[in-house]
Structure 1
Amino acid sequence: MVTEAYPTLSAEMGTKIIDPQSYAEWDGLLDTFDWLRENMPVARVVAEDDSFDPFWLVTRYEDAMHVSKNNKTFLNRPRSTVFSTKEAIAFSERVTGSKMLVDSLVTFDAPIHPKYRRLTQEWFMPKNLKTMEAEIEALARTTVDRLVNAGTEADFVPLVSAPYPLHVVMQILGVPEEDEQRMLFLTQQMFGGQDEDLSGTGMKDMTPEQITQVVAGAVAEFERYFAALAADRRANPTDDVASVIANATVDGEPLNDRDMAGYYIIVASAGHDTTSASTAGAMMALAQDPEQFARVKADRSLLPGIVEEAIRWTSPVQHFMRTAAEDTEVGGQKIAKDDWLMINYVAANHDPDQFDDPRKFDAARSPNRHLAFGAGAHQCLGLHMARLEMKILFNELLDRIETLELAGEPARAKSTFVGGLKTLPIRYTLSK
């Protein structure tokens, strides 16, 4: 039965959904989503102060999958693809002429999206990635060397899970190693702008518009850097992804400057921040469960399960927004043309109707058809690379670490969009 009424969240609960602090307080957030799936699975979120446009919050797995796969009815445009306040969207339009600071694969719809996706899709398929395994294995060994040399205690995030996927994706892009820290800093400003520990700006007391300006500054710096890289690759093409993008044509025309910059930025930033979060999530789960750590150390056939469960359990990309192209319905609720919807992947990936005991980290979970990579035409371009990177790294970690436990309280980032652990103190002994 289709519902006519608007089931609107209370101001208190609506604030939780969009408050970056809520995503740092993970268990409380999951409690909220449990209640919503049971009582208001498709709920209207309205700002009491009119600071953002109303949107529908989708929390059930089945409904999130429906919206994700139905790309003709639920569009990435014309509204913002990421939740933003009216002030932030207005700022973006003033600066870029678009509701999004970055226009990329994430923001395009058909027929543009598949044309742009095809430019690099072969690069990220298993057949091509297999040719890079030896190089990634060498990067994993170098990364684990740093952990071994740190002694018996370390913060896993800055030492291992942040730099490792960054180094892999920068190698693929063709970014020199000396520029990697710059790329990491800019990514943290862009995705971690809501967290004072990640943004590097001391922005605890900043207004939302000031935070948006920090993010815009990071985007502008990315654009300047990649404009220079593209110019170099057009003059001196190599076999890296940067050269593919710089020399690509769509419908016989080269990419315009903004679309080219957006392509570079989405590969450079989304290609490592999300994998970093999943890697840290897996390490935390193993540190909390010595028996599971011992099982996977003894039986490496469990590694793919560890990787997949970490991606579900962590859900690094926490939401995307969609716009209804026509009058429709989701989960029995009427949705009007032009309505804005939030697919909340954290909620969907912890739906007990799809995942038994969803808060438990279970390396043997099967099936594990999670939504952390999205679904449909916009499924993550780099999903095979993320899985391969994590499998190779954990194989190396398990070879060289004998025991593992937490050495302090882990902390999650304050972020509504891309999230995960920002600190993970661990204590370990080394294999002989």
Structure 2
Amino acid sequence: MTASIIPTELIAPAFNPASFANRSEIHALFTRLRRDYPLAIAEVPGFDPHWIVTRWSDLREITRQDEIFHGGDRSKTLISQAGEQLVMQYTGGQHNIFRSLVQLDPPEHRAYRDVLAATFMPNNIKGLTDSVRATAEKYVDRMAEHGGSCDFATDIAFRYPLKVVLDLIGVPAQDHEKMLQLTQWLFTWADPDLKRPGADPSNPIEITETWNIVYNSFKEYYDPIIENRRAHPRDDIASLIANGKVFGNPMEERAMISYLIIASTAGHDTTSATTATGMWLLAEQPELLARLKADPQLIPGFIEESIRWATPVQHFIRSATVDYELRGRQIKEGDLIYLSYLSANRDEEKFEDPFTFRPDRTPNQHVGFGYGGHICLGQHLARLEMRLFWETLLPRLESVEMAGEGQMAQSEFVSGPKSVPIRFKMH
């Protein structure tokens, strides 16, 4: 079957970070694509052509075959032609500023993943329960101290997972705000409220310039920590990465710095986005709060549905290493493939009534943590953080409502609520 081309005027908003702040419109776009162009090519000026994958089954088929569909041969996230050319200038010919687990392909990916794999296994994560619960209690108390109103996103959700993860890495508390700022510059480089000062989202190379600044800022910060942990290892993630071996040798420098970067950014940002989304839902649906308070056994299901609903990581890019047939279409070697996790998690073929939030949805086979070999390494920690937070807060939360209009971040890659103003009663 010959490839179909998505009309440029239809698909263009998916290439614009600002579009993702309007959830109803972006979901309407992907609903239309699932119906009329479930697997088709986008040709947007300034970008190389991309296959757009919108269906859950197609996304899973691709992401379980890392040998065929690579994440590091080209940019792992959407980038303009001019931006990708600048990346190659900055890196000496590589297609990614960062070489984290996200961008690595087999066999490198497994070797690097194994450096921390045991640390994030469920049994080891379970051992963190008491310390994470103590942090959850601290932030629930902090919410109560706001006296009945706060911006839940900025005051609580941004900071609770941030503290959990950065404490595990070994970042001193006085540097946590710096890590949050760099995270926002990285993931929300185009948002008017969260972007780095001076950034110009209308510039097609802005994303590359911002990423390079972020990479170098993290490198400057972590270089002395790496040196310190090699000389004086501690019981923290920074020590495991600094002393980690890959194929019997120390990590390549860009990959090591990128490992610390992904831990310091994705390690908290997606959990923050999901937690903020959960509160937004509770503030708009008082019956949902009543259900959870009456039946705390629903909390795990509430968390899974929050992950599906939020889908903070909205897309990744893969490239085909061989010719491959999918849904009757011929993907050619070298073709770029845009995987929409946001669309897959609303796929009518997979999820009954996908635009209704159901805390008792069973099974809930969302792809909010990815799938296959690249499934999120920190998924068990994220679930623990959210479970302990809601288990701590819900018995004390009597009521909550929105105190203004919630706002989503403008980002085509990782997006979540940037403002969730609420009024609440706690005891």
TMscore range, shorter length = over 0.9
The residue type paired with residue 429 of structure 1 is K
Match of residue 16 from structure 2: 19
Match of residue 77 from structure 2: 82
Q: Using the alignment, how far apart are the partners of 2:91 and 2:196 within structure 1?
A: 24
Match of residue 101 from structure 2: 105
* Structure-to-structure mapping, 1:8-87, within 5 angstroms: 8-47=5-44, 49=45, 51-87=46-82
Match of residue 369 from structure 1: 365
Q: Is the 8 A contact 1:196 1:202 kept in 2?
A: no
Seq. identity, %: 39
Q: Is the 8 A contact 1:323 1:339 kept in 2?
A: yes
Say which of 139, 144, 150 aligns to 1:143: 139
Q: Using the alignment, how far apart are the partners of 1:206 and 1:41 within structure 2?
A: 29
Q: Using the alignment, how far apart are the partners of 2:19 and 2:329 within structure 1?
A: 26
Match of residue 175 from structure 1: 171
Q: Is the 8 A contact 1:196 1:203 kept in 2?
A: no
Contiguous gaps of at least 5 residues in structure 1: none
Point out the more displaced range, 67-76 or 387-396: 67-76
Q: Using the alignment, how far apart are the partners of 2:179 and 2:72 within structure 1?
A: 28
What displacement does 1:200 show? 3.9
What displacement does 1:143 show? 0.9
Match of residue 125 from structure 1: 121
* Structure-to-structure mapping, 1:22-421, within 5 angstroms: 22-47=19-44, 49=45, 51-97=46-92, 98-201=94-197, 203=199, 206-421=202-417
List structure 1 segments (4+ residues) > 6 angstroms apart after TM superposition: none
Equivalent residue of 2:330, what SS?
A: strand
C-alpha distance after superposition, 1:19-69 (max 9, x if no partner): 11111111111111111111110010112x3x1110100001111111111
Equivalent residue of 2:399, what SS?
A: strand
C-alpha distance after superposition, 1:202-238 (max 9, x if no partner): 5466513234312321111011111111111001101
C-alpha distance after superposition, 1:172-207 (max 9, x if no partner): 101111110000000100111011111142546651
Equivalent residue of 1:185, what SS?
A: helix
Equivalent residue of 2:6, what SS?
A: coil
Q: TM-score, normalised by structure 2?
A: 0.98
Equivalent residue of 1:321, what SS?
A: strand
Q: Is the 8 A contact 2:185 2:194 kept in 1?
A: yes
Count of residues paired in the alignment: 426
Q: Is the 8 A contact 1:233 1:246 kept in 2?
A: yes
Q: Using the alignment, how far apart are the partners of 2:24 and 2:91 within structure 1?
A: 37
What displacement does 1:404 show? 1.1
Q: Using the alignment, how far apart are the partners of 2:134 and 2:352 within structure 1?
A: 37
Equivalent residue of 1:273, what SS?
A: helix
The residue type paired with residue 395 of structure 1 is E
What displacement does 1:409 show? 1.0
The residue type paired with residue 406 of structure 1 is M
Q: Using the alignment, how far apart are the partners of 1:77 and 1:259 within structure 2?
A: 12
C-alpha distance after superposition, 1:321-343 (max 9, x if no partner): 10111111222211011100011
Q: Is the 8 A contact 2:406 2:419 kept in 1?
A: yes
| Superposition CA RMSD, Å | 1.2
Q: Is the 8 A contact 1:229 1:242 kept in 2?
A: yes
- Judged with a 3 Å threshold, the aligned counterparts in structure 2 of structure 1 residues 146 and 202 are, in CA distance, closer, same or farther, namely farther
The residue type paired with residue 215 of structure 2 is V
- Judged with a 3 Å threshold, the aligned counterparts in structure 2 of structure 1 residues 204 and 404 are, in CA distance, closer, same or farther, namely farther
What displacement does 1:288 show? 1.2
Contiguous gaps of at least 5 residues in structure 2: none
Q: Is the 8 A contact 2:316 2:339 kept in 1?
A: yes
Equivalent residue of 1:261, what SS?
A: helix
The residue type paired with residue 273 of structure 2 is A
